[in-house]
Chain A
Amino acid sequence: MAKKVVAMILAGGKGTRLQALTKKIAKPAVYFGGKYRIIDFSLSNVANTGISSCGVLTQYESVILNNYIGDGEKWGFNGVQSIAVALPPRQTEEGLSWYEGTADAIYQNLDFLDSQNPEYVLILSGDHIYKTTYNEMIEVHEKTGATCTISVIEVDWKEASRFGILEVDAKDRITKFVEKPKEPKSNLASMGVYIFTYKDLKKALIADHIDPNSEHDFGKNIIPAFLEQDKSLYAYRFHGYWRDVGTLDSLHLANMELLPSKRNNETIDFDAAPTIFSEDTHSLPCFVGKSGSIKDSLVNQGAIILGDVYQCVISNEVSIEEGAVVKNSVIMPDVVIHKGAYVNNAIISPGSVVGENEVINKDSCEIVLIDTERSLQ
């Protein structure tokens, strides 16, 4: 059965700037918001759009991510005529090759796309935090009959040189694409969300594959090549909350934005439809003990709070013992913070232990990362 739209989520990156957090897991699998993993947002967005075929391209430390995706049951991709599949690099007749760029990753899975026989392909990055459906963008793409539609967000002019910047005409047709321009002429940044008409994409990927000078990247090669060929490419303006949590600071900040005191009209509202789906752990509800206190925080089930918690995002199976004080921090699953410890401005990676009376980052505004190995020292 032909599918109108198939989604492909790029989830192979390491996320080097997240330091030790991505030592053993890929960035899309990093925990976020006490309950979620970063990729839950893209997968839920795809599911909520009504797209029933979704490939997830994995590469770096792919085991945990592949296992997490499973048969897609967490996001409802296990229904009839639905499929979610992790697509790590594989050995083929042509040999074994790693994904050498975003475009190459899709090229190597053209057989999957062919098997789904879509009209359009939605290509997403698996490491952005936002809640949306892509229906309107698909409609726009259909209406313009474009080869490619790129989702853009207006960024601060000062920040514009950090992004891939699109220049557009009065009808939002893209005239130029510049990766990280020194002197930006527009503040429309690409979100790394593309809709391609599949037959055009397939041709372009095959041509790109045999080009020895190509880096096989959508932003650097595929999009500029389309523009050179004078194909019609349109920008779709996205409004709302969208975060790239590529660094420890931005990951910490995006978590803190979920707290009651920091929320505003734009912040992701988990209660309103559409729902962000995730794994439901077999945890007891959150327990706050007689000695515990929580203020201005987001705390997942399975947490046991016997100490003082102020402005924190806390995951499942976290234990904060009596007399411990935890402030302005992101605590990932299975962390134990022992009696009398003091934690401030920190991201504590999964499974870490903070010792009795240990002091972490007192009187510092910088965000520190605590990982399991440090605790073993």
Chain B
Amino acid sequence: MNNVIALIDLHNTTDLGLLSKNRPIASTTFLGRYAFIDFTLSNLSNSGIDSIGILVQDHSRSIIKHFGGGKNTYLRNPKTGWQNIFINEKGLLNSAFNTDINNILENDWFLYDNDLKYVVVCPVHYLMHIDYSEVLKAHIASNRQVSVVVSDVTNADDPGLLHCDKVTVDPLSDVQKFEVNDGKEKKACVSLQTYIFNCDFLREVLAKANSISLMFNINDLVKYLSSYLEKVHAIKFNGYFRRLNSLETYYNVSMETLNNGNGGSISNLFEKNWPIYTLSHNSRPVLYGEKCDVVNSSIANGCTINGIVHHSILSRNVIIDEGAVVEDSIIFTNTHVKKGVHLKNVIVDKHCVLEINKDVHGEDGKLLYVPQGAHI
């Protein structure tokens, strides 16, 4: 589709507590192999959208590291398609003005392309399998200038959905009003923070955006449009999605993939005809030792396991020595758990060495986080 471009919005995201202190959620590890943005990029690629701008707010190093060579990873045709990292350099010094809208205004060259008809804005903190080509069809059929993707849920009180936008949709499928989901009711129609704009309309609105407010982001803008200027069409999405907004939701959504039998059957996030692409690291297959005991776990390539691993997720190149026990935990790349250590309910970040002979677990069954590079 050469008349569509997608903008992946890393400005209006949630944070995952200590986990996203030094990295954006976009490049945070999920299921031991992926970064969250892999899902957005793979959805776009599988939907045939090959022109992609990534609106980076901060921590650009980890994004660039992940995508420096990403053209061949995600694009169907790296020559006809393009993938760019957009940074609002003026905004870097003043975070209040470092918004996605100012980022677009700073990098608005793509808007001058006469063939461009539609702009899709995608989030990274919603984990989902969504076919953007279907969403586009629905938008085009609506004859509206702007659409938002929404989903009816019966778990609006779930912590992961707290404080997301919820919408009231009228019989003509237009949004009547946007509100904040306070979680008081179970049933709601929530926004998936995915927008489709007609490009001409977006050009017009962007020209006026700074005169409305210098600090507006795209969410604010759509709400403002909906209230005063333009009907916003609501496109219903019925598939699987999870919203991540804290360390706890990160842990719960990760573990959910194990509880559902295996990662492959977690709803329809992973399907054979809908591959999730990610960077290649040339890691060897997993070495399972003679005395290891691994049950109900997801183990990424490069791991060496000689100890006990139950109900856990291990990223690349993790080493579990004989006599070590890992339960209900998530361990990131290049961490080494040595003999005598017992982990339970712990997220261990990258490059840690755990070697003191003791139990490491959160108080009262709570989650414990071990930061990157820790040596305990």
Which A residues contact B (CB, under 8 angstroms)? 33-35, 73, 260-261, 270-271, 275-278, 280, 282, 284-290, 292-301, 304, 309, 313-314
Contacts and interface: CB of A to CB of B under 8 A. Distances in A.
A221 B91 CA distance: 72
A271 B300 CA distance: 14
Nearest to B262: A287
Contacts of A296: 288-290
Contacts of B33: 284-285, 301
Given A285-B300, A301-B33, A271 B284 contact: yes
B285 A295 contact: no
Interface in B255-269: 258, 261-264
B284 A288 contact: no
Interface string B21-61: 00000000001110000000000000000000000000000
Nearest to B284: A270
Given A282-B277, A284-B264, A304-B262, A294 B285 contact: no
The 8 closest A-B pairs by CB, nearest first: A270-B284, A280-B280, A300-B285, A34-B285, A282-B275, A287-B262, A285-B300, A294-B288
28 contacts: A35-B284, A35-B285, A35-B301, A260-B287, A260-B306, A261-B290, A270-B284, A280-B280, A282-B276, A285-B33, A285-B300, A285-B313, A285-B314, A286-B285, A286-B301, A287-B263, A287-B298, A294-B288, A294-B292, A294-B294, A295-B290, A296-B288, A298-B287, A299-B299, A301-B300, A304-B264, A309-B288, A314-B285
**Most chain A beta-carbon contacts within 10 A, residue among B72, B276, B289, B314:** B289
Given A35-B284, A295-B292, A73 B72 contact: yes
**Most chain B beta-carbon contacts within 10 A, residue among A285, A287, A313:** A285
Given A285-B263, A296-B290, A290 B285 contact: no
Contact of A287 (B275, B285, B293, B297): B297
Contacts of A285: 31-33, 263, 298-301, 313-314
Q: Is the interface of B mostly helix, strand, loop or mixed?
A: loop
A288 B294 contact: yes
B277 A286 contact: no
Contact of B282 (A34, A275, A297): A275
Given A288-B296, A304-B262, 10 more contacts: A271-B302, A284-B31, A284-B263, A285-B263, A286-B301, A287-B258, A288-B299, A299-B288, A304-B264, A313-B285
B301 A301 contact: yes
B286 interface: yes
B276 A260 contact: no
A298 B72 CA distance: 29
B17 to A, nearest CB: 24
Contacts of B290: 260-261, 295-296
Contacts, number: 112
B279 to A, nearest CB: 9
B356 interface: no
Contacts of A309: 288
Contacts of B285: 33-35, 286, 298-301, 313-314
A289 B258 CA distance: 8
A73 B302 CA distance: 21
B376 interface: no
B303 to A, nearest CB: 9
Contacts of B263: 284-285, 287
Contacts of B289: 260, 295-296
Nearest to B261: A289
Contacts of A295: 288-292
A277 B296 contact: no
A34 B302 CA distance: 12
Contacts of B292: 294-295
A289 B296 contact: yes
A297 B297 CA distance: 16
Contacts of A271: 284, 302, 317
B295 A290 contact: yes
A288 B313 CA distance: 10
A181 to B, nearest CB: 38
A288 B297 contact: yes
A293 B32 CA distance: 20
A323 to B, nearest CB: 15
Contacts of A34: 284-285
